[in-house]
Amino acid sequence: MRATELEREDRTTAGAPRGGLRPAALARLVDLPGLRHDFPLVLTDDEHRPVVTLTTVVDELLGATAPPGARGERLRQHVLRLETALRRRLEDESAPTDLVQLWDEAAERLLAGADDGLADSLATARAALHVDGRVVRCDDDAPATVVHHLHAHAAAPGATVLAGECSELVRRLGAVLSVDQRRSATGRAPARLQAAVGGPHADDFDFAAWSEVLAARPHDTPMPEARRTRIEWALDVLRDQRFVATGTDGEGPSTYDFSFDGVDRALTAHHDRLPELARVVKAMTIAQLELDNEYDESAHGAFFHAYDAAGLRPDDFSPFPGSLVVLDGDELDPSTRAQVLDVLVSPLPWKVVVVTRDALGRSLLHSPVEPRPLSGIELAAAARGLGTARVVQTTSAGLARMAAALRDALAADGPALVSIVTGTVVDGVGLPGYLAAAAAAEARLVPEYAYDPHGGPDGDARLDLAPTAQPAADWPVHTVEYEDEHLQRVREEQPFTVADLAAVDPRLVDHTTVVPRAVWTEAMVPFAAFLQLDEPTRRGRVPYVLVVDEHDVLRRVAVDDRVVGAAEATLAAWRRLQELAGVRATEERRRLAEERAALEAALDAAREAGTSDRTPSPGTAPSATPTTGVDSDAVGPATDERDVAAAPVEAVESGEPWIETARCTTCDECTNLNPRMFAYNEDKQAYIADVHAGTYGELVQAAEACQVAIIHPGEPWDPDEPGLDDLRRRAAAFD
């Protein structure tokens, strides 16, 4: 990024127009079609890889055709030129949406007036192109397009199995009736015998005489009429069912559509189809009993006579296609949200996809003191809390990266919720759709994750935050380079936050201000650093973020308390997610282990030096504030500083609970849980006041809720407390 013509910034007034502003971290990403990234996507028929990026297609093609050396490098450069041409061609709405057709058209345009070398390279590449499919741009339609494609792939194996079972039952039931027909008087009639022989030899037989001979011979007892009626009924139901296609070459009834754009329409269709689904389940069960000669009228007759949709069990729905409902996440009314949550706690294998365009405005444009409707992002959080459905959240920029997780959720037996954010809600932001979506994820507005309630016993097994950038950090950090007013290169590590997006959103001009360089002061503090300050220290300071304007000039944008509040709420939600996934606990355990090792080393060194009556070196001992849960009457008062400093080590060795009081952030979580067990000292930092004033379960619950993981439950003091095995397992993460 360049910061030339900085003198023009001095002439800029506060509240300048926002056109063309971009976050400084994204300043170099101006010509997106000229950069290799995860779009466009190619939707293929490959069952193992239904979604692939154009970048991957080209990389694999070059891996197969470009050998090391000058010739291979020339081929590589030529194919990369073609890849760029493909991306630029897709900016035109009239571009083909088939990869091969798009490839050939772009190559033809590129070859106009080109030399033979380019033609040879592109011919080689074209011969090696073995991937085809629909090409998808990163626009508002991309999420629904990709989800429908993945849902079709995910549903295909189950539909194939069900169709095969129905077809096989139809074939075998038909064979049973056919055999019985041949044994009956009707089957031995002259006309039936002549039809069975057919062909050029039909005139060589006296079918009337043949029929008399067969009639005179002993034959099997015909099938009872009740059984025949039962089999014919099952056969008709299975032939006419519309849940999966069983015919070939267009034969058979048309199948139901399981894609809907509203939960109410999906529910209506579901209830309308329930009677038929019950008939199909009943027919398949009767058919199998008949084929196995296990149908007993006395045992089964009354049951199947009364069987209807009310008798369906959760397992009965699994073989059948589930509904796919795609909703507008920016227009979720209370009724729809309630319907979605009802579906997610049901046994139905429904998949609900919520596509949201606005990730930032909902936090900043609504009054903080008035209720507002839940967005798709918040609905996903609510769905996680239910613990009954799979949940996947991503942005349109992450569709390729999350394709496997999306397909797993769409293929799961039970319900699933997919939340996708496009980030393209407002025109005028100087970011293309792909970057807007990616920035929303980077700013922790749309954490990318996959949640499986049945993935394991612990949060880190059920919740996967790996797709999110730098998942262990509060904010992802990027290196920003620019030239200062002295034309010297400056490199800065800049966290990417909510404020970086707010600064370039023209809807938020009332909450952000472009600050002229002439009035930059030392009171201005980088936004991420400002968030780390306590309230008294914040007074008199102005938080800002760096942006770049349309002339590539570096600017500062100051933000107000509304943006600060939105960022703090976003960060708090992100930290809760980290805790659920075990990310913060893992980091805290690592840091705590290092501090314990340093403390023990210092104490050992002091003992060996014969200075046990002196406190360890500064920085190694924890606060002298009471931190253990040991009864003071039992332990006795600390006689000197060394006794108090060593108390946490003794607590760890004895299994007593303790708190790292010096690191307490005064969040009130533990004191609200049990104010008799937990209390604040004179510095308003928590310690265990009376371990016997509560249960071991409350200690563990407080440790799990603690935002900085400083509560260590130790061992339970009451051996008869219920559920100790599970509580010890949960406490192990903090001890």
Question: DSSP letter string over 202-225?
Answer: GGGS-HHHHHHHHHHS--PPPPPH
616 is written with which tokens?
Answer: 């360890």
131 contacts 57 by C-beta, under 8 angstroms: yes
373 contacts 333 by C-beta, under 8 angstroms: yes
Q: Which helix (H) or strand (E) holds 61?
A: helix 54-65
Q: What is the DSSP string of 82-115?
A: HHHHHHHHTTSTTS-SBHHHHHHHHHHHHHTT--
Contacts with 731 (C-beta within 8 Å, 6 or more apart), sequence order: 696, 699, 700, 703, 713, 714
The number of beta carbons lying within 10 Å of the beta carbon of residue 540 is 7
- Cα gap 450→435, rounded to integer Å: 22
pLDDT category at 638 given cuts 50, 70, 90 is very low
Q: What is the DSSP letter of 507?
A: G
Handedness of CA 712, 715, 718, 719 (dihedral sign): positive
Residue, of 222 and 241, whose pLDDT is higher: 241
Handedness of CA 330, 336, 340, 342 (dihedral sign): positive
The HSE-up count of residue 23 (CA atoms within 13 Å, CB side) is 26
500 is written with which tokens?
Answer: 């970086």
Strand pairing category for 259-260 and 324-328: parallel
pLDDT for the residue numbered 106:
92
pLDDT for the residue numbered 629:
34
Strand pairing category for 686-688 and 678-680: antiparallel
pLDDT category at 581 given cuts 50, 70, 90 is confident
40 is written with which tokens?
Answer: 């466009």
pLDDT for the residue numbered 288:
93
- Cα gap 663→709, rounded to integer Å: 9
Residue range 506-551, pLDDT digits in tens: 888 889 999 988 888 999 999 999 999 998 899 989 999 999 888 8
Contacts with 671 (C-beta within 8 Å, 6 or more apart), sequence order: 678, 679, 680, 686
State yes or no: pLDDT of 330 exceeds 80. Answer: yes
Helix 142-183 with 263-291: angle, nearest 10 deg: 30
528 is written with which tokens?
Answer: 């991420």
pLDDT for the residue numbered 634:
35
Q: What is the DSSP letter of 261?
A: S
Burial of 249 (0-12, 13-18, 19+ CB in 10 A): exposed
Q: What are the contacts of 364-373 at 24+ separation with CB within 8 A?
A: 364/502, 364/508, 364/511, 364/562, 364/563, 364/566, 365/507, 365/508, 368/562, 368/565, 373/332, 373/333, 373/334, 373/337
pLDDT category at 712 given cuts 50, 70, 90 is very high
Residue range 344-375, pLDDT digits in tens: 998 888 999 999 888 777 667 666 666 666 77
The number of beta carbons lying within 10 Å of the beta carbon of residue 674 is 18
304 contacts 279 by C-beta, under 8 angstroms: no
Q: Identify the top-confidence range among 20-34, 103-117, 247-261, 561-575.
A: 561-575
- Cα gap 586→463, rounded to integer Å: 14
Contacts with 598 (C-beta within 8 Å, 6 or more apart), sequence order: 620
334 is written with which tokens?
Answer: 């209370």
Q: What is the DSSP letter of 628?
A: B
pLDDT for the residue numbered 12:
39
pLDDT for the residue numbered 203:
61
Residue range 119-173, pLDDT digits in tens: 889 999 999 999 999 999 998 899 999 999 999 999 989 999 999 999 999 999 9
- Cα gap 682→510, rounded to integer Å: 41
- Cα gap 605→329, rounded to integer Å: 61
Residue with structure tokens 């706690």? Answer: 345
- Cα gap 476→322, rounded to integer Å: 38
pLDDT for the residue numbered 404:
93
- Cα gap 664→342, rounded to integer Å: 40
State yes or no: pLDDT of 734 exceeds 90. Answer: no
Residue range 406-429, pLDDT digits in tens: 999 999 888 999 999 987 765 555
Separation in Å, CA 564 to CA 69, 498, 545, 561, 667:
54, 9, 12, 5, 18
